[in-house]
């Protein structure tokens, strides 16, 4: 099932042959080095590809699989301790909650944390590496296109904002709206050709993932947000992720979402929805607006700010922007 980020979740059928998946999966296994019989904790629903892949891998390796898709962080830590869990498969939201609950390297049996299904921010990747050690991996892919890239612990140390390098058997082309390819450092719409690509969305250029991305000079892939989320403010392209990455580094912010609202002056302006960290209940929207002036250029500053109890999220942890309208609480 798709994540339901931009609409109702829908089913995507995959029937790849062994020959089709062998090259990509072999490269993935070479990086992850799974071990037979290792207890694994899955915090992702089985209806998504990431969860199903974990189930398949556990069956192949005769590894005990503990499935807790909606558990509290404290319950997950108890499961890790009681069952000597070695591999944890999660989404960024769960990683954040585990770190907040006190998970740290040297205090658990975990040797590998595999994150995926939603964007992993550079700040969370860095925090995870600092707290857990070199055990964090970040998988990037989509339901239709399958696995696209993998960031290893070394990738996340050197370039925590990246999703690593594309996997063998996967070809990525970054394109302008008129279909022209862009060069390193330039942002383009991400199209994929791969053995696991499925569905009618495939064209001669591959599957259009709907993601905006760029390749760094280091050859790693960096995501810049969703094409549908891009705003045009006063004639300038504004990427919500650019704003959110900056805002999420403020000490009082747990999570943020920047969305477009109509503006007479600029055509579109930014409205910022914020979920605050515990202990910052006295922070006001006015004080936040003043604080952000020091770290955001004028074109990226929100025209309005709304503090919410919790941002709407799907089962995979992705923020559901379609639910965010001015007046949402």
Q: Which pLDDT does position 16 carry in this prediction? A: 57
Q: Which pLDDT does position 219 carry in this prediction? A: 93
Q: Which pLDDT does position 126 carry in this prediction? A: 93
273 belongs to a structural domain: yes
Q: Which pLDDT does position 200 carry in this prediction? A: 40
How many angstroms separate the CA atoms of 22 and 304, rounded?
50
235 belongs to a structural domain: yes
Q: Which pLDDT does position 108 carry in this prediction? A: 82
How many angstroms separate the CA atoms of 123 and 105, rounded?
18
Q: Which pLDDT does position 83 carry in this prediction? A: 95
277 belongs to a structural domain: yes
Residue 314: which CATH number?
A: 3.30.300.30
Number of domains in the chain: 1
Per-position pLDDT tens, the chain of length 329: 455 444 555 555 555 555 556 666 777 788 888 899 999 999 988 877 778 888 888 998 999 999 987 788 999 999 999 999 999 999 888 998 899 899 998 878 999 999 988 888 888 899 999 999 999 999 998 777 778 999 999 999 999 999 999 988 888 999 887 788 888 889 999 998 865 555 444 444 578 888 899 999 999 999 988 888 888 887 777 888 889 989 999 999 999 999 988 877 778 889 999 999 888 878 899 999 999 998 998 888 899 999 999 998 887 677 888 888 776 65
Q: Which pLDDT does position 205 carry in this prediction? A: 57
Q: For residue 9, report the phi and psi dihedrals to the nearest 5 degrees.
A: -60, 140
Q: What is the DSSP string of 255-307?
A: EEEEEEEEETTTEEEEEEEEEEPTT-TT--HHHHHHHHTTTS-GGGS-SEEEE
pTM of full prediction above 0.95: no
250 belongs to a structural domain: yes
288 belongs to a structural domain: yes
247 belongs to a structural domain: yes
314 belongs to a structural domain: yes
Q: Which pLDDT does position 138 carry in this prediction? A: 95
237 belongs to a structural domain: yes
The whole domain housing 235 covers 230-323
Whole-number Cα distances in Å, 310 to 35, 257, 272, 319: 38, 11, 13, 10
How many CA atoms within 13 Å lie on the side-chain side of 97? Answer: 15
Q: Which pLDDT does position 228 carry in this prediction? A: 80
4: left (phi over 0), alpha (psi -120 to 50) or beta: left
Question: Where does residue 36 rank: exposed (0-12), middle (13-18), buried (19+ CB within 10 A)?
Answer: exposed
């Amino acid at each position: 099932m798709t994540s339901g980020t931009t609409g109702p979740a829908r089913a995507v059928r995959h029937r790849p042959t062994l020959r089709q998946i062998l090259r990509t999966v072999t490269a993935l296994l070479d990086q992850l080095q799974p071990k037979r019989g290792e207890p694994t904790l899955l915090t992702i629903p089985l209806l998504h590809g990431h969860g199903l892949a974990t189930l398949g891998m556990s069956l192949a390796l005769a590894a005990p699989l503990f499935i807790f898709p909606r558990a509290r962080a404290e319950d997950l830590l108890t499961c890790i301790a009681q069952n000597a869990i070695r591999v944890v498969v999660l989404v960024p939201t769960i990683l954040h909650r585990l770190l907040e609950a006190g998970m740290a390297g040297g205090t658990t049996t975990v040797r590998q944390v595999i994150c995926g299904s939603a964007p992993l921010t550079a700040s969370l990747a860095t925090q995870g590496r600092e707290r857990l050690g070199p055990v964090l991996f970040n998988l990037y892919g989509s339901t239709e296109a399958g696995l696209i890239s993998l960031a290893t612990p070394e990738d996340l140390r050197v370039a925590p904002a990246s999703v690593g390098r594309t996997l063998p058997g996967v070809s990525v082309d970054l394109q302008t709206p008129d279909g022209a390819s862009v060069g390193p450092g330039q942002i383009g719409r991400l199209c994929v050709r791969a053995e696991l690509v499925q569905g009618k969305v495939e064209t001669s250029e591959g599957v259009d993932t709907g993601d905006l991305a760029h390749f760094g000079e280091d050859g790693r892939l960096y995501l810049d947000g969703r094409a549908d989320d891009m705003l045009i403010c006063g004639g300038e392209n504004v990427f919500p992720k650019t704003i959110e990455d900056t805002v999420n580094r403020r000490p009082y912010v747990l999570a943020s979402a920047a969305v477009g609202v109509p503006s007479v002056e600029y055509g579109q302006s930014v409205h910022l929805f914020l979920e605050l960290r515990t202990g910052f209940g006295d922070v006001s929207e006015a004080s936040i607006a003043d604080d952000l002036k020091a770290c955001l250029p004028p074109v990226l500053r929100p025209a309005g700010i709304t503090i919410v109890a919790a941002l709407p999220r799907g089962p995979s942890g992705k923020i559901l922007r379609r639910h965010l309208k001015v007046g949402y609480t």
